[in-house]
């Protein structure tokens, strides 16, 4: 287990976007799988990683001091749902909650763009997962600027600086959360345009996958270059020490899951989690309980 733990942790380091303004999306190959020799090895390492995560989550839940927020962003068909499903398969459901952020409701649109995310933040001791998030506000809204009209923002505030201002707001928001014990890790599942095409065709051709296909996804594919530019800008401006981005090569689903699991394990390990220590008073009550139960 120790050997596997060391191996798993090594998958995450190189994909953490720490370059800030120097980050370039082209530096990460979506088909990258270094250190992965076979599907069998991937399954073995992920299984070991899931067991490690389960142990760490139990301590996180018992200690009830920190919470962990995992944010997933990606182009359509990049594998967000599958990654969440497989990586978190061993986590106790009591301590984990997934929130999928879809088109804002009329109520959402009557508030600022960070409002609805605040309602879904994980409690202390728990893991929260955002399947898409407030980052859509500097991605899809940036690519389709006409959507800003639905947000009813005063026109005087919609300037050429709006994306820079939103980056600043997000960084301040995440810094606030970090200062209150919310650990944030963000994952961009990075697939190539050709791999997205292959997955879309599979959804069209395979009856069991037909339900996954959406004409809207195909429409968004036409804006691929604009999205890549928006993602690169987003990562450059919002990957911070408190809330780093991991740009995860996602053409190989198994490798992507390993990178995500590695980052989570490394993060939880860094918290030095422990089960709460029993006080002398609690120990006395336990001794009394033992005597009563035995009598």
- What proportion of the chain, given as a percentage, has pLDDT over 70? 99
Q: What is the pLDDT of residue 279?
A: 81
pLDDT at 1 over 90: no
**Which two structure tokens, joined as six digits, stand for 141?**
């809204």
Q: Answer whether residue 109 shows pLDDT above 90.
A: yes
Structure tokens at 87: 């990586």
pLDDT band at residue 287 using 50, 70 and 90 as cut-offs: confident
d(CA 186, CA 188): 7
Mean pLDDT of the chain: 93
Residue 277 confidence (pLDDT): 86
Q: Whole-angstrom Cα distance, residue 278 to residue 291?
A: 18
Cβ(22)–Cβ(239) below 8 Å: no
Instruction: Specify burial of residue 191 (Cβ count, 10 A radius: 0-12, 13-18, 19+).
Output: buried
Q: What's the whole-number mean pLDDT along residues 199-211?
A: 92
The band of 201, judged by pLDDT with boundaries at 50, 70 and 90, is very high
Which pLDDT band holds residue 2 (cuts at 50, 70, 90)?
low
Q: Give the pLDDT band of residue 4 (cuts 50, 70, 90).
A: low
Q: What is the mean pLDDT of residues 172-199?
A: 98
Between the alpha carbon of residue 203 and those of residues 58, 199, 207, 255, the distances in Å are: 37, 6, 8, 21
* Most trustworthy range by pLDDT among 34-38, 165-169, 218-222: 165-169
Residue 107 scores a pLDDT above 80: yes
Range with the lowest mean pLDDT among 28-42, 75-89, 144-158, 278-292?
278-292
pLDDT score at 9: 78
pLDDT of residue 82: 96
Return the domain boundaries, the chain: 2-294
**For 16-62, what is each residue's pLDDT tens digit?**
998 777 899 999 999 999 988 898 999 999 999 999 999 999 999 99
Over range 5-11, report the average pLDDT.
79
Greatest alpha-carbon pair distance for the chain in Å reads 76
pLDDT for residue 16? 94
**Which distant-in-sequence residues (6+ apart) come within 8 Å of 52 by Cβ?**
1, 4, 5, 8, 265
User: Cα separation of 79 and 81, whole Å?
Assistant: 6
Indicate the pLDDT class of residue 285, thresholds 50, 70 and 90.
confident
DSSP class of 38: -
Q: Which CATH number fits domain 2-294: 3.40.50.2000, 3.40.50.300, 3.30.70.260, 3.40.50.12500?
A: 3.40.50.300
Q: What pLDDT band is residue 216 in, cutting at 50, 70 and 90?
A: confident
Q: Are 87 and 260 in contact (CB under 8 A)?
A: yes
């Amino acid at each position: 287990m120790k050997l596997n733990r060391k191996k798993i942790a090594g998958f995450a380091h190189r994909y953490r976007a720490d370059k800030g303004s120097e980050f370039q999306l082209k530096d990460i190959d979506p088909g990258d799988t270094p250190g992965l020799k076979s599907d069998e090895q991937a399954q073995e390492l992920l299984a070991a990683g899931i067991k490690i995560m389960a142990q760490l989550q139990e301590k996180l839940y018992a200690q009830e001091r920190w919470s962990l927020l995992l944010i997933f962003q990606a182009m359509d068909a990049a594998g967000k749902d599958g990654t969440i499903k497989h990586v978190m398969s061993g986590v106790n459901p009591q301590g984990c909650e997934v929130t999928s952020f879809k088109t804002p409701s009329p109520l959402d649109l009557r508030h600022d763009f960070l409002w609805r995310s605040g309602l879904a933040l994980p409690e202390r001791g728990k893991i929260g997962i955002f399947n898409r998030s407030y980052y859509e506000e500097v991605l899809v809204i940036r690519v389709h600027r006409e959507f800003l009209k639905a947000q009813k923002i005063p026109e005087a505030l919609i300037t050429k600086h709006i994306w820079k201002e939103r980056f600043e707001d997000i960084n301040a928001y995440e810094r606030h959360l970090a200062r209150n014990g919310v650990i944030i890790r963000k994952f961009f599942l990075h697939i190539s345009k050709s791999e997205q095409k292959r997955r879309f065709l599979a959804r069209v051709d395979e009856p069991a996958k037909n339900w996954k296909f959406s004409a809207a996804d195909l429409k968004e594919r036409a804006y691929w270059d604009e999205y890549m530019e928006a993602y690169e800008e987003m990562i450059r401006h919002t990957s911070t020490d408190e809330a780093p981005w991991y740009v995860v090569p996602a053409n190989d689903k198994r490798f992507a899951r390993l990178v995500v699991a590695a980052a989570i394990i490394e993060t939880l390990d860094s918290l030095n989690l422990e089960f709460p220590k029993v006080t002398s008073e609690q120990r006395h009550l336990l001794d009394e309980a033992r005597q009563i139960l035995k009598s």
